[in-house]
A and B are shown apart, each in its own frame.
Chain A
Amino acid sequence: MELIVSLGIGVLAGCGTWLVLRPRTFQVILGLSLLSYAVNLFIFIMGWVRGGAPPIVAAAASVDASRFADPLPQALVLTAIVISFATTALLLVVLLAARGLTGTDHVDGREPGE
């Protein structure tokens, strides 16, 4: 299980890194999205991968911390998702503005060799 999750994160991060280094703005945005998925998953598994463990302790239950998942990474990941969503939306607007102003979707605002 841990191996699968780690491999998944690695593939996401690798693809994201490659795309971020591409010269077209849309590829860069997709790359950033993939990278942020990888990072979000990474935060998530910092609370360890465990099935069937609820993050909330019931009031009456005897508190045995090992039977519960760590709720904090889940809260952190929510915050991180919201923030990366908002900044990606902003970046999309800037991308469109740059496309409109420069007439190209190259990240440098001009085609190579121009």
Chain B
Amino acid sequence: MSAWADHVVVAPIVLPLACGGLMLLLDERRHAAKGVIGLATIVAIGLAAAVLLAQAPVAHIYALGNWPPPFGIVLVADRLAAAMVLLGAVLAFAALAFSLARWQRAAPRFDSLVQFLLAGLNGAFLTGDLFNLFVFFELLLASSYGLALHGAGRMRVRESLHYIVINLVASLFFLVGVSLLYGVTGTLNMADIALRIPQVPAGDRVMVEIGAAVLAMAFLVKAGMWPLGFWLPSTYAAASPPAAALFTILSKVGIYAVLRLWLLLFDAGTGATLLLFGGMATVAYGMSAMLAAQDIARMAGASLLVSSGTLLAAIGAHIPAVTGAALYYLVVSTLGAAALYLLVELIERARAPGANVLAVTAEAFGEAAPEGLPQEPEGAAIPATMGVLGLAFACCALLVAGLPPMPGFLAKFALLSALLAPDPVPGTAWALLALLALSGLAATIAMARAGVRIFWAARLEPRRIHLAEMGPVAALLALCLALTAAAGPVTDYLHDTARGLHAPHGYIGKVLSR
């Protein structure tokens, strides 16, 4: 391979950093130019991720500054990292394209923040160094604070305050965990830590476990595991829709970190029970939150909790086939939740102002749209507004509830069939099956109730919704349908990924043999 092709690993981090910095120099009023640069950067990231994905069987190891591991920092682009980078790029493209019609103008420096968020996100997925993971986490969190505040307003500032404080405390946990692991193993390279943990003397073993548990706290706060996830629905509901759509992958970063580190460092499955029961408690909590939710944005947040819980419980089952199915569920549920967050705003706007039975948000924000935010985006409107919105909402509802023909059904089905494969079937698997079925039922009830109230009960002349905003939502939903059609190859890839994760010696060998 030529020398240039090697650098494709670092491109998903360097490109958004450079372009985000460049856009800071551009005049704030040049929205179109910023939009084009932003979208082009995301496309380039997507292409880089696609190249990595195509070459994924050979994991790329990229030594930053050419310092050999374990002393230098390495980037590792294996199957999981490449898939997550691609997922992030797809989401970011949809969110940014959506924001171009209106939200981009709500406050300055939106485009740069999106790029910095992407840089942190891709870095977190690609890095093979524990402290570097912390730095990238902070980068993505710092940008997410900015994005959570985007558009300002009383509600947003209040929720962002909670969000920032909680994540700062979680970051401190992260630091404590990292330094405990470093203190015992004497290294920060993830592969090297994994090699050294079995050699740790029995007396220090408890330090490693405490370190890992403290580290897990930081990740599980992000993933929103019960009881660490109460902040999630309200923060995401208060954030502007493009930001909320981007945030759907932030909770998956926590899942990613748990999946990567836990399977790498604790091969034998220490702590599996905690993940399993914690995940199940999260599903139960998310389910009841969904039934109790009074507006769709909170419902979307609750559905994110349900998906986080499902993923954690599936990871806790510690079976490669279940992990593979969980990865498919991760992709699908992220896309579905992002589409729902974008759609929520369109629905609220089409109905506003008027009989807002469900939506108290506009009032709670305490003011009209922020200064500089155009009330009506320019461009062509979509025909049959309520019909199109209703169709999209129905698709989202099917996705969230896990009903055919949307891929949520396939994901849950694959998950459950893999879970029930061992003989004899463990009791926890039956409990998880019951919970997943119940959560699907709860989602169906909640979404159907909201749909009836919005689309059937209210008779309003809807406001016009523009094509530029409906496009990204439709594209996300179409992508989900395509994932149903292409479920075979996609799940094959993800099952290979899961097998790789459950046999960490391949990863360790590749990183350290460089």
Contacts and interface: CB of A to CB of B under 8 A. Distances in A.
A4 interface: no
A32 B135 contact: no
A20 interface: yes
Contacts of A76: 131, 178-179, 182
B169 interface: yes
A11 interface: no
B165 A42 contact: no
A73 B182 contact: yes
Contact of B168 (A42, A47, A72, A91): A91
A76 B180 CA distance: 13
A66 interface: no
Contacts of B158: 98, 101-102, 108-109
Nearest to A107: B161
Contacts of A91: 161, 164-165, 168
B149 interface: yes
Q: Is the interface of A mostly helix, strand, loop or mixed?
A: helix
B491 to A, nearest CB: 39
Interface string A33-74: 001100110110011000000000000000000000000110
B183 interface: yes
Q: B interface, how many residues as a size bin?
A: 20 to 34
B99 to A, nearest CB: 22
B168 A101 contact: no
Contacts of B152: 97, 101
A42 B176 contact: yes
B496 interface: no
Contacts of A36: 168, 172
Interface in A79-101: 79-80, 83-84, 86-88, 90-91, 94-95, 97-98, 101
A35 B165 contact: no
B138 interface: yes
B106 to A, nearest CB: 15
Contacts of B175: 39-40, 42-43, 80
A32 B138 contact: no
Among B141, B168, B169, B183, the most chain A Cβ lie within 10 Å of the Cβ of B168
Contacts of A87: 138, 141-142, 145, 164, 168, 171
Contact of A94 (B135, B153, B157, B171): B157
A40 B179 CA distance: 10
Contacts of B162: 107
A58 B359 CA distance: 67
B182 A46 contact: yes
A98 B157 contact: yes
A33 B152 CA distance: 25
A6 B92 CA distance: 45
Nearest to B139: A83
B449 interface: no
A108 B165 CA distance: 12
B138 to A, nearest CB: 5
B205 interface: no
Contacts of A79: 131, 135
Interface string B333-346: 00000000000000
A43 B157 contact: no
Contact of A35 (B142, B154, B172, B183): B172
Contact of B154 (A42, A46, A102): A102
Contacts of A25: 161
Nearest to A75: B131
Interface of A: 20, 25, 28, 32, 35-36, 39-40, 42-43, 46-47, 72-73, 76, 79-80, 83-84, 86-88, 90-91, 94-95, 97-98, 101-102, 107-109
Interface of B: 131, 135, 138, 141-142, 145, 149, 152-154, 157-158, 160-162, 164-165, 168-169, 171-172, 175-176, 178-180, 182-183, 188, 366
